[in-house]
Amino acid sequence: MMRAWEVARAWFDAIVLEPGREMRWSFLPPLMVYFAYGASGLTSVVGTFFVKDYLDLSAAVIAGLGFWIGLPWALKMPVGHLVDLMWRRKWVLVFFGAGLISASFLIMFGLATRVVWMADVMSVTAWYVLAALLSPCGYVVQDAVADALSVEAVPKLDETGAPLDDETKRVLHTTMQTLGRVALIGALSAVAALNITLFSGIDSLPEAAKDAVYGRVYLIALVIPVISVSGVLLAMVQQRRQIAALMAAGLARTEAEAQFAPEGGAVKPNWSYFIGGAAFVALSVTLGVSDIAFAQELIFAGSFTIVIYLMRQLITVLEPAKARALIGTAIIIFIFRATPLPGAGATWFTIDELGFDQQFLAVLSLITSVLTLVGMFVLRPLMANHTIVYIVVLLTAASGLLALPNIGLFYGVQTWTAALTNGIVDARFIAILDTAMESPLGQIAMIPMLAWIARNAPDNLKATFFAVMASFTNLALSASSLGTKYLNQIFTVTREVAGPDGTVTAQADYSHLGLLLIVVAGITVALPLLAVAVVQNSRLRTTD
């Protein structure tokens, strides 16, 4: 009995208490910026119902819009390099990002509350697209600064002033990146709980009252950019206090300020990043406003080429073995994230056919975020003691298994299980159980790679390294959106659309959804496992 207690105590210490001991006050500013990004989930539920109720867009078109929304993340390349160049004044970029995010929320508030003059300027759909694009642009800018702050937050010296050893720095970087994901998921948990309250009883409200609730959500969301701005202000205060303490200890101001400058001296502008970013913007805008066939595909191909070129330049500063390992790891993560999703049709089915309302979707969101948070602590030893390849293979197998309940819900398994359990195991029970099992998987794969970058990137190019690698892996999400669009064009899913007078203009048709779910599950398992097999049997083999 005593032995079991000792094992349990050791497990609790490693899982819960150790990250707390490794926490530093300097970690707080980047955690606040990451928290603000996670809090953006406050508008996810209202956004889903706004699109479904007010915009006559097909699932394929929404998937295509997801492609455009994901593209700003490829701009982390020039933004990240700009952060390195503006190291002492990087806080300015957070204010700029906060302005973009605030503008997006204000536009959506106007649409939700039916502000009259907006429809006279341009269509509701055009306003929605503008808001959908402004928000990720703001988060991209803030995320690039948060990555830089997360590196700056890890101390280089111990309490006695001696340099920290490599193992201690590795642990602190892993903790910082883990806590960054914890802050993000913790914010998702908080806003999911808030959504449950905000959407309580909304089904019984008239349309005008629903619009008011939607508008209130977007007004509350204006707190999000305030949090991120507060984070960088706190970082400035912390740094000034530390500089003052060093000066009080006898250092000159220049010497004290040098303690917070990147090693290796000032960063010289690498115009390739800005030229590549400008080429990306020019390509995207030119093709985006044209009627050229396959514009999204051409933009993706061009963006991919630009990112690969910049990655090739960047990894030349690494040792050959590390460069090859980084390339192999990035390829595996890219394929893992590039697998397609079922698209909006699956959510429409749960709303129309299974009766999942706004409040229940908020409950699912809360379960997802809370269990992801718990899973990140519980699986922390797994991430610390196993390679990225091992983690990706494990998550891929789990994703395939956890796709089965959703497939079963489409084919009516809940009718059978409810009959056997006196109504206990119904559609909502299965959805909650599946969400509970799947929740911890999404964020796990990125943590080891982020920690690897933080440890191995040159000290004066941390933000650039984060940005270029993030651009590469985030392009995978654009590839995922393209794949989702293609599958939704093959397996067409439509929901019922009614005009203002109640006249039905489009009928619901979910007959192809089952096959769509099966194909997506198959691709989700096959592609990552194939990527692992190819990479691990090549010169790009990774053991980190």
CA end-to-end distance (rounded Å), the chain: 38
Q: Is 333 exposed, middle or buried (0-12, 13-18, 19+ CB in 10 A)?
A: buried
Do 532 and 397 meet the contact criterion of CB atoms below 8 Å apart?
Answer: no
Point out the residues of the chain with pLDDT beneath 50. Answer: 264
Confidence (pTM): 0.64
Enumerate long-range contacts of 430-434, CB under 8 Å, 24 or more apart.
Answer: 430/405, 431/350, 431/354, 431/356, 431/364, 431/405, 432/363, 432/364, 432/367, 433/405, 434/402, 434/405, 434/406
Q: What is the pLDDT of residue 455?
A: 65
| DSSP classification of residue 341 | -
Q: Whose structure tokens read 């409200």? A: 205
Distance, CA of 138 to CA of 131 (rounded, Å): 11
Residue 93: C-alpha distances to residues 100, 139, 240, 276, 471 (Å): 11, 11, 19, 20, 18
Structure tokens at 361: 């979707």
Distance, CA of 179 to CA of 467 (rounded, Å): 19
Distance, CA of 325 to CA of 333 (rounded, Å): 12
- Which H/E stretch holds residue 497? strand 497-498
The three-class DSSP label of residue 153 is coil
Residue 378: C-alpha distances to residues 14, 152, 386, 544 (Å): 9, 27, 14, 21
Q: What is the pLDDT of residue 1?
A: 53
Structure tokens at 180: 């960054």
What is the CATH architecture of 25-235?
A: Up-down Bundle (1.20)
Nearest one of 106, 195, 187, 105 to 146, comparing CA atoms: 187
* Helix ranges, 153-270 (H): 166-198, 207-220, 223-248, 253-258
Do 81 and 475 meet the contact criterion of CB atoms below 8 Å apart?
Answer: no
Q: What is the pLDDT of residue 103?
A: 93
Q: What is the pLDDT of residue 122?
A: 85
The three-class DSSP label of residue 505 is strand
Q: What is the pLDDT of residue 496?
A: 72
Do 84 and 461 meet the contact criterion of CB atoms below 8 Å apart?
Answer: yes
* Domain locations in the chain as residue ranges: 25-235, 293-543
Do 508 and 52 meet the contact criterion of CB atoms below 8 Å apart?
Answer: no
Distance, CA of 318 to CA of 256 (rounded, Å): 30
Q: What is the pLDDT of residue 99?
A: 92
Structure tokens at 274: 């800005």
Distance, CA of 388 to CA of 398 (rounded, Å): 15
What confidence tens digit (pLDDT) does each residue in 83-106 have? 877 777 778 888 999 999 999 989
Structure tokens at 134: 């402004």
Fold observed for domain 293-543: Growth Hormone; Chain: A; (1.20.1250)
Q: What is the pLDDT of residue 159?
A: 59
